[in-house]
Structure 1
Amino acid sequence: MLLVFDVGNTNIVLGVFEGDRLLVDWRMSTNIPRTADEYGISVINLFDKAELDYRDVDAAIVSSVVPNIMYSLEHMIRKYFRVEPIIVGPGVKTGINIKYDNPKEVGADRIVNAVAAHEKYKKPLIIIDFGTATTFCAVGANGDYYGGAITPGIKISADALFERAAKLPRIELVKPNTVICKNTVQSMQAGIIYGYIGQVDYIVKRMKSEMKRLGEDNPFVVATGGLSKLIASESTTIDKIDPYLTLEGLRIIYEKNK
């Protein structure tokens, strides 16, 4: 079995593959002060709850945008699973041609998403990942990674409004039925959620126009990440929600490098 980790600023998403089949996936908070043993106990408990034997894991791969967590996580994988993890980064085969000014600046999660989407869809792509930050990535039909845009995630936007405006409450991200709202909570929800949808659609339309000038016509728009369903339900530009895109990308990169 293959154990995969996608380490984000807020959550670690991990999954277990047998061949190309995802057996189970989990989400746990990214907690930098944890030791390798604390991570090990947590992950093994997840295996137990899923009635899987952690000793059947014979490979592991990690992508991370949180450098401070890597020592504990890598040590945990070696100690508890007795395998040497592949770390997504420079020197790892991806099949993607990165056109960034400095390819080392591209986040591992963005590369992994690009690999998965390119392998699955084989067409020009715009990939939107709704995480702590929301990333927009443009990928050509031949696997050229052109670049993209990064915005604050919708939760960061909501938290900033609560923290900087003294009389505004912290809100749940639930979509109201209207934008003309009659109470403060729904007014905030409407402004944040519908405003964010408008931001997404504008950026996608602008990226489509720029990709057309690169010879990449009519890119397919794929959304992933925890809040993709909330935004895609009203978006006019998102073609498909692919919730396991990052985990599948990790499996594909492992296959290219094993």
Structure 2
Amino acid sequence: MLLAADVGNTNVVFALFDLDSGSREIRARWRIATDPRRTGDEYAVWLLQLLEIEGVPREQITQVIFASVVPRANHNLTVLCEKYFNLTPIVAGQGKAAWPFSIDVDQPSSLGADRALNILAAHEKYGGDLIVVDFGTATKLEAIDFNGTYKGGVIAPGINLSLDALVGKTAKLPRIAIRAPDSSSVIGRNTEDQMLIGIFWAHVAMMEGLIERMRAEIGRPAKVVATGGLAILFDEKTEIFDHVDADLTIDGLAILAEHASK
């Protein structure tokens, strides 16, 4: 079995793939808050119990791959793999797991691992010219041509980050929950509704506007693939997505592991 871990700024997502099935179907997935101070032993206490609940002995894990945008977490994940699974992990973007696509930007080395995995998975799963929108800590949009080449993208504050800034820098505005507004109206009748409109619909408008501008710049029809925890929420209120794929990043890890094994 393949154990894959995607280390983001907010959460670490672990996923278990059954390699013997001949598919990339995810057998189980688990999420834990990102903390660079969490040791390999602490990861093991948590993860080995979850594997036991799933009925998977640790000896059945034959390959581990992880991608990280938090460099301080890498050592502890490596300790987890070597000490508790007796495996040397594949690190996305390094060595035999170097990115198997062209990166046509000014600073190729600056491309984050999460973004690269989305690019890899989107091209393999959907093909053609693509725009990938990832709703994470930051909202990221990627332009990928029909050859799978990364042409560039956009990084904007994520919706929760925007809300944190709004509440944190004002004295009287309350903390509100991020949700889809009940109405399509953009004229709020009270403070909470006005904040939700300003956070939610402004994010939708930004995303739709950027996608249309990117499509015009690409000059060819481009499919839009949305991923990230809030993709389904936004999909309820816009028609701009062609596909919503919550597993895009973690599928990218499984695809990259296949490339690395060849």
- TM-score normalised to the size of structure 2? 0.94
**Correspondence for 2:249:** 246
**Correspondence for 1:173:** 178
**Correspondence for 2:239:** 236
- Deviation of the 1:164 alpha carbon: 0.6
In the aligned structure 1, how far is the partner of 2:181 from the partner of 2:191?
12
| Matches for 1:1-258 after TM superposition, within 5 Å | 1-19=1-19, 20-91=24-95, 92-178=97-183, 179-212=186-219, 217-258=220-261
- Percent of aligned pairs with the same amino acid: 40
Letter aligned with residue 191 of structure 1: G
Q: Please identify runs of 4+ aligned residues in structure 1 that moved more than 6 A.
A: none
> What SS does the corresponding residue of 1:209 show, helix, strand or coil?
helix
Contact 1:116 1:252 in 2 (8 A): yes
> What SS does the corresponding residue of 1:146 show, helix, strand or coil?
strand
In the aligned structure 2, how far is the partner of 1:135 from the partner of 1:9?
13
> What SS does the corresponding residue of 2:224 show, helix, strand or coil?
strand
- Deviation of the 1:185 alpha carbon: 1.6
Note the alpha carbon deviations across 1:132-157, whole angstroms, 9 max, x for none: 11111011111111010001111000
Contact 2:93 2:99 in 1 (8 A): no
In the aligned structure 1, how far is the partner of 2:100 from the partner of 2:80?
29
> What SS does the corresponding residue of 1:97 show, helix, strand or coil?
coil
- Deviation of the 1:90 alpha carbon: 4.2
- TM-score normalised to the size of structure 1? 0.95
Note the alpha carbon deviations across 1:15-41, whole angstroms, 9 max, x for none: 000122210111110011111100111
Contact 1:74 1:85 in 2 (8 A): yes
Structure 1 stretches lacking a partner, 5+ long: none
> What SS does the corresponding residue of 2:141 show, helix, strand or coil?
strand
Q: RMSD over aligned Cα, in angstroms?
A: 1.2
Structure 2 stretches lacking a partner, 5+ long: none
In the aligned structure 2, how far is the partner of 1:134 from the partner of 1:250?
20
Q: 1:158 to 1:223 in 2, by over 3 A?
A: same
- Deviation of the 1:48 alpha carbon: 2.1
